[in-house]
Structures are given as structure tokens and as C-alpha cells.
Amino acid sequence: MFAAYRRLFAVPGAVAFTCYGLIGRLSFSMLGVSLLTAVVDRRHSYALAGAVSAAGMVGVALSMPLLGRLVDRYGQRRVSIPAALWSAVPRTALPFLLHGGAPAWALCAAATAASVAPNLGGMSRARWAHLHGADPALLHRANSLEQALDELCYLGGPVLGMLLCTTLFPEAGLLAVSALATTGALLFAAQRRTEPPVAPPPGSGPRSPLRARGAIVLVAVFLCTGVVFGSLEITTLAWAGAQGRQSATGLLLALLAAGSGVSGLLFGLLPQRSSPVRRLLVSLAAMAALLLLPLSATGLGGGLGTLAVALFVTGTGTAPTMVSGLTLLQRTVPANALNEGMAFAVAGIVTGSSAGSALGGLLAQRLRAGGGYLLPAGAALLALLIALAGSRRLRPTDRTAAPVPDEPRDHDRPSGGAPRRRYGRAQVYSYSGSSPAPGKTAAPVRVRTPPARS
């Protein structure tokens, strides 16, 4: 397995941007539990903790697409460095405001302002598309690795945040989040060798990636997937609390992430014989079916061990869905809007996760313990139906078809009788988001010109 993934890092600088990006993404996985723990410990209010957390999520959903558009226009480094320095100020101020007894509006404002931060996960995937966009198998493997790294962050991030908040002082986790996020973003932006060049704007075509064919379908799928994530977390917390085992919630969610991480690495090794659309539909169907396992485990009166196994197996359906969807998005969105397209996908997941947490909390109060697992299963089914309904828009159009060869003409045929081929010259930019190798300019691609029709 490791030998197969080693090929990804043959490009100089690939290891560096992956490691530095991982530092920044670890901070994002620590943020939720660190914020909730600090607010509840200092203010003794779950309502205030939820309001501050929601304010941060709103900031992410609104600012991330805007930053993605700026990255596509000016480049990753020129946008990431100012955004990282900007977000560091309110992010560092938040724990001091909390400790000093600042009003609720000040905490919400600081959380919203701190959300204007670089999307390191999306920019990492854009770099992989730049480095390996010409090789679909390697790009698929890179996206699988990115998903596994995301799950690794969500395995260790909450544990680290809770450890800092409980062993040092309540705001320790938030201070660590600020340090890791700023350091990771600045070091990531400093990796110039692997940064994708700014793609020139198209002469015609949609300005927003959401207007690209099939993009809105994928964002809707990611929105429903976010509902799955958010509702799974709150439902698991509610079930563990009803059993008197609330402290086991972290372990149960870690097993869910572990299942997704393992399946992501294995999925990256599978040969890609089917189309990306078919892979997405199969992955969504598998995820919807597997989400019935925790519902069955709790409905049949299973204990902690039964639910732990069910959640681990359930998690195996998450990574293939995310990898297939993001790979398809990379092929759908034009190269000059790739970062903005990735940002819309993340914003959809964040928005869906917030909605899933709210709806899951309501169901947890009204249904029996574990009954809330109906919501993630239903959200996954809705994502599958949306993908099925929009599958025709997700398939490539005639723009991606192979060029038509020339018919030999009499004046193109030399004395030996073999036809001499004519070629037209056209500047072609990859539809999958790939770009020239680092340090090289885009070379004109020879495309066979179809014969003129009479």
C-alpha cells in the first residue's frame, strides 16, 4: 500500500506541502471540541456554546467561496498569507475575551471573523490536480490520500483539544488552535514549487463554478453529506448520554473516522474501470445502506460494543463518497475556478453539518435513544436521489471528446504515397484542472483539425 502511495511524493515539494497543510487542518478538527469545552466551562451555558459555534460556521460558509475566488485570481500564496494573518488576530483574541467575561455578541463576532481563513484542504487538492491531473489514476489516489488525512485529523484533533482544555486550562485548546492554524497556513503558502499557476480567465463561459455543468448537483450532494456528518455526531452523543456512557462518545466517533480513513486508503488502490459518475452513485448507495447499521444496532438493544462495530463499518462508506465526489468536481469545474469550486463544496459540507446537528438534536429529544440515526440514513438517501436525478449533467459533454482526425488530401500526399497529416494550433487548458509542471509555461497543444464540410 505505502509503495503505491509513494509515487505521489516523487515530485519535489509534495511532502512539504502535505505535512504543513496537515498541521493547519489539525487545528480545524480541534476547534469544535475546544470551543465548546471552553465556553461551557467558563460560562456554564450550552446555548451560548452552540451560538458561538454556529457563528463560526456561518463565517466559514460565507467567506470560504470568496477566498477561493481570490485564490483562483491571484494565486494561493498571495491570498493565504494575508488571510492567515487576519484570522490569527480574532482567533487569538477569542480565548482572552472568553476568560475576561466579554458579552456574547463579542464572542460571536470574534468567532465569525476568525473563520475568514485559508481552505488548506481545498488548496492541497488543487495542488494535486496541478501535479497529477494528467494521470487520472494518480489523481484518484491523491484524493483518497487527502480524505484519509482528513479522517486522521478528526481522529486525533478532538482528543488533543480535550486533553489541553482539561489538563491545562479551558482556553488552552483555543490557543493551540490559533498557533497551529497560523503556522500551518504560512508554511503551506511558502511552498512555491508546487503552487499551481494562476490560470488565465476564459474568453467566454460561466464566471461562477456553480454555473459549470453539474457543479450545483455536486454541491447539493455535499450539502446532504454534511447533514450525515452533523447528525451522526449529535445522535451518537445523545445515545451515549442516555446509556450513561457519555465519555465514550469520543471513542465511538473515532471509530467512525477510522473506518472512513481505512476505506479511503484502500479505495485509492482500486483500479478505476468505471466512470466517475458511476463510482459516485455506487458510493452513495453503499453509504446509505451502511447508515442503517447504527439504527439497527440501537433499535435491537445492542450495547456499546455493538454500536462501536456498526459505526466503524458505517464509516467505510464515507471516504469513497467524498473521494468520488471531489474527483468529479475537479473534472467539472474549469481550472481557473478550481479553488472556488472546492470552497463551495466545503461550505456545503459545513452548512449541512450545522443543519444536521440542529435537526439531530431535535430528534434526539423527541425520539427514543438511537432513533435519531434515521436522519443520517435519510440524508444519504436524499444525496443518492439528487445524484441520480442530475447524473446526466454530471457526465462529460462533447467538449471533452477526442479530436477528429484529418482526412488525407491529395496535396498532403507525398510522392511515396503516405499521407502527410495537417495540424492546427490551439491553446488548450485541461478540463480536469491540471496545469503545466512547476516552473514551466503552458505549451500549445497540437490538435487535429476536422475537415471542412461542403
Last residue within a domain, chosen from 350, 365, 399: 399
Question: Which residues form the domain of 351?
Answer: 206-399
Contacts of 395 (CB under 8 A, 6+ apart): 214, 275, 277
Quick one: cell of 261?
480513513
Q: Residues 94-114: pLDDT tens digits?
A: 999 999 889 999 999 999 999
User: Is the residue at 296 inside a domain?
Assistant: yes
Quick one: cell of 77?
500564496
Q: Residues 185-212: pLDDT tens digits?
A: 999 999 998 998 887 765 555 467 777 7
- Residues 344 and 44: their CA atoms lie apart, in Å, by 35
User: Is the residue at 437 inside a domain?
Assistant: no
What's the pLDDT at 53? Answer: 81
Quick one: cell of 195?
503552487
Has residue 400 got a pLDDT over 70? no
213 shares a domain with 188: no
User: Is the residue at 433 inside a domain?
Assistant: no
Which of 212, 384, 355 has its CA nearest to residue 283? 384
pTM confidence score: 0.73
**Alpha carbon 410 to its chain's center:** 55
Quick one: cell of 34?
475546544
Q: Residues 328-372: pLDDT tens digits?
A: 888 888 877 888 888 888 888 888 888 887 788 788 777 777 788
241 shares a domain with 132: no
Counting the structural domains of the chain, the total is 2
214 shares a domain with 193: no
193 shares a domain with 214: no
User: Is the residue at 415 inside a domain?
Assistant: no
171 shares a domain with 272: no
User: Is the residue at 448 inside a domain?
Assistant: no
- Residues 315 and 287: their CA atoms lie apart, in Å, by 8
User: Is the residue at 406 inside a domain?
Assistant: no
User: Is the residue at 420 inside a domain?
Assistant: no
76 shares a domain with 187: yes
**Alpha carbon 244 to its chain's center:** 34
Contacts of 446 (CB under 8 A, 6+ apart): 423, 424, 425
- Residues 319 and 321: their CA atoms lie apart, in Å, by 5
Quick one: cell of 431?
478540463
307 shares a domain with 185: no
User: Is the residue at 407 inside a domain?
Assistant: no
Which of 328, 321, 351, 347 has its CA nearest to residue 432? 328
CATH of the domain at 324: 1.20.1250.20
Please name every residue paired with 426 in a beta bridge, in sequence order, or none if there are none. Answer: 445
User: What would you measure as the largest C-alpha separation in the chain, in angstroms?
Assistant: 91
374 shares a domain with 250: yes
356 shares a domain with 284: yes
80 shares a domain with 226: no
192 shares a domain with 210: no
Q: Residues 255-272: pLDDT tens digits?
A: 888 888 888 888 888 777
Please name every residue paired with 446 in a beta bridge, in sequence order, or none if there are none. Answer: 425
215 shares a domain with 176: no
- Output the DSSP codes for 17-56: HHHHHHHHHHHHHHHHHHHHHHHHHHH--HHHHHHHHHHH
Last residue within a domain, chosen from 351, 376, 399: 399
Last residue within a domain, chosen from 148, 179, 197: 197
